[in-house]
Amino acid sequence: MANIEVSLKETVTSIEGSLGAALVDYTSGMALGTIGGSKDLDLTVAAAGNTDVIRAKARTMELLGLDDEIVDVLITLSSQYHLIRLLKGRSGDGLFLYLVLDKAKSNLAMARHQLSRIEAHLEL
């Protein structure tokens, strides 16, 4: 089992094209940990903004009467992928992993696979 800091380090080192990552509490919008980012990529601001994305999707699913779970949300920009993976079980409810990838240097399928593996080893 890995703690938050170790898991975030593993995220950016094991996933090719990673620009930054965060573990976010979407009940409060606060980042519990971040790694990477830049002056143009403030992960704390992104954590709060992506909390709104998750809340909006959950509301929409409720309005549609969908009895299902969000696994992940992908936002594709012209030069980046923003991947939000909701955590399940073992105190992970209400949390998501947020990963920003350089679109030209990353493999989206492998990134999703790696995030799933990292989630399984995350100790909260």
Q: Name the strand (E) or helix (H) holding 80.
A: strand 80-86
* Tally of domains in the chain: 1
CATH number (domain holding residue 62) = 3.30.450.30
> What is the predicted pLDDT for the residue at 77?
97
> Measured between alpha carbons, how far is residue 71 from residues 5, 40, 48, 78, 87 in Å?
22, 27, 19, 23, 8
> What is the predicted pLDDT for the residue at 89?
64
Q: Which domain holds residue 20?
A: 4-121
> Measured between alpha carbons, how far is residue 111 from residues 1, 21, 89 in Å?
20, 12, 21
> What is the predicted pLDDT for the residue at 93?
77
> What is the predicted pLDDT for the residue at 59?
94
Give the CA angle between residues 54, 58, 98 to the nearest 5°: 20
> What is the predicted pLDDT for the residue at 91?
55
pLDDT lower than 70: segments of the chain: 1-2, 89-92
**Is residue 23 within 8 Å of 119, Cβ to Cβ?**
no
